[in-house]
Amino acid sequence: MKGNKYYWVAGALLATSAFAQNKPIATTKTQTAASQTSILQTAVSETWIADLQDGRYKNPVLHADYSDPDACRVGEDYYMTASSFDAIPGLPVLHSKDLVNWTLIGHALPRQVPIEHFEKTQHGNGVWAPAIRFHKGEFYIYYPDPDFGIYLIKARNAAGPWSEPVLVEGGKGLIDPCPLWDDDGQVYLVHGWAGSRAGIKSVITVKKMNAEGTKVLDAGALVYDGHKIDPTVEGPKFYKRNGYYYIFAPAGGVATGWQIVLRSKNIYGPYERKVVMAEGKSGINGPHQGAWVTTSPVNGQSEDWFLHFQDKNEYGRVVHLQPMKWVNDWPVIGTDPDGDGIGDPVLTYTKPLTSKNYPIATPPESDEFDGPALGRQWQWQANPKGTWAMPAAGFLRLYSYKAPEQTSNLWDVPNVLLQKFPAEEFTVTTKLRFTPNANLTNEKTGLVIIGQSYAGIYLNSGKNKTELVYAVCSKASDGKPETTRLLAEFKPETDLYLRVKVNKGGKCEFGFSEDGTNFKMTGEPFQAEVGRWIGSKVGLFCTRETQTNDSGYADYDWFRVTK
């Protein structure tokens, strides 16, 4: 595949890129679109593989920003979803056979509602911590929008299609819902509160729903107030075991907190409280917010596991997997070397029990743009329009789209196509050809690393020329303008290769090449920054400043993520 070599290891298709070997980048296509698509669906990351292939795994199992993960098991299959905030498509759905190797099988939310509201960037808003469950042959995802309320979507197949969102309860500040179908047929919903909208936080509420789980029926009851010892308790997950109702909930703040569990014989309490996992001496900060799953029995034996996130600043909230056991009807998550009942998270551990060994699997990263649709890893900064991007026969065409009025940088531009950072260290290289509208100037396209500050390398159209510019925008989220430096000038429709190397700690360096072999680096390191509740992202854009009846465009031949 255009310079990549593929080989089989332990039943999985792995890719070794020419970039990683410092070899020239092939510029011609050597396979059909159908064969390319097949390879892309099974290609494995070069940058992060959690499966150590010796019966153990390492954390994080997903070194990518799948914030606030929740999961459920159906037979021998595991399904996970996560917060997506304003990114579209939203509500990623991942699948695994062993809780270690995960594939991204789709998104449950192709457009975010209200549609017009989310046609503008809404950083930090939108989909907060969701819950996924399987009930009577259907998948349910309950997700909160802190400005509008709690929604429900359903599907027979986790890969979709999913139903249109139904508003289960409207209101501001309702967050982090999770349902429970009780043994007597009653249906309940637990949720937290966002202080920024509701004016109160650190409390957990339980409400009754109708039998269909589509409507809240009452005002609910307070079941836990964490103000004194568990500030910012939120993200509750509801379970029942051995006659106890359990609420798993994080507390103490995203980057600094701990995992608590509440239990009671009565759904409305009173609830006992216990800390079941904390950082301890592990160095894994804020280990909390996630999902308890029990494995499918193998020879009559099952295991309990817990998926949670760790806040890693510019890398976002990455996903860890912890062993879990029950002691006196209390869970202990991780390992408990000092025997105090509070688990410490692990960095490596024996893989979960399965009926057989499964091949390595990772979410997609590179995209050859050879199929009729974008790879599943891509998300826009707002509800997309059909004119922004059109996959074609062997390339992705981005049409320039007018930036919103009074926009001084890319932070508020909706048509920025992005994906998550996949590892601590990686390199992105893309090949493009820019064909600007001859009647316009200041059409722009290129490669960007974006958070609340950003940097990028892009082409800017002028009269009979295009300028290659290195841009940095400090405090973009505050509306600050870019500063730019001219790197080179080219004729329109010149093939170019753009690159960014992300080093440990999120330090980035951009470069470009005319031949795909010799890259000129800018020599200016850029420190990647967090976004609004998310990590930094990498991707492409194509904008203009004027509204006319036609636009220029950029053809991206491929986008490759390598070591």
Both tokens of 333, joined, read: 């998550």
> For residue 263, what are its two tokens?
């239990």
**338 given a catalytic annotation:** no
**Alpha helix positions (H), 387-535:** none
N- to C-terminal Cα separation, the chain: 17
User: Is 68 in the active site?
Assistant: yes
Please report how many Cα atoms fall inside a 13 Å half-sphere around the Cα of residue 191, on the Cβ side: 34
Other residues' Cβ atoms within 10 Å of the Cβ of residue 366: 25
**What tokens does 543 get?**
């904008």
At position 283, the amino acid (one-letter code) is G
> Phi, psi (5° rounding) for residue 464?
60, 20
Catalytic residue chosen out of the listed positions 86, 234, 311, 529: 234
Do 350 and 33 form a contact (C-beta atoms < 8 A)? Answer: no
Check: CB of residue 374 under 8 Å from CB of residue 384: no
| Amino acid letter, 104 | L
CA–CA dist 85, 123 (Å, integer): 7
Question: Is residue 515 within 8 Å of residue 426, measured between CB atoms?
Answer: no
Give me the phi and psi of 41, to 5 degrees please. Answer: -70, -20
Phi and psi, residue 197, nearest 5°: -110, -40
Calculate the alpha carbon distances from 253 to 224, 249, 476 in Å. Answer: 17, 11, 25
**Collapsed DSSP state (helix, strand, coil) of residue 405:** coil
CA 280 to chain centre: 27
Examine residue 161 and say whether the peptide bond preceding it is cis (omega within 30 degrees of 0).
yes
Tell me the C-alpha distance between 497 and 447, whole Å: 10
| Residue 428 structure tokens | 């992105």
Question: Can you name the residues that pair with 517 across neighbouring β-strands?
Answer: none
* Residues belonging to the chain: 563
Residue 243 Rama label (left phi>0; alpha psi -120 to 50; beta): left
Residue 13 dihedral angles phi and psi, to the nearest 5°: -90, 120
Of 51, 65, 68, 311, which one is the catalytic site residue?
Answer: 68
Q: Which two tokens stand for residue 158?
A: 């986790």
Residue type, 151: Y
Whole-number Å distance between alpha carbons of 458 and 193: 42
Could you give the CA distance from residue 16 to residue 494 in angstroms, rounded to a whole number? 28
Of residues 189, 191, 81, the one with CA closest to residue 141: 81
Instruction: Determine the Cα–Cα distance for residues 197 and 557; give it in Å rounded to an integer.
Output: 44
The catalytic site residues sit at 68, 234
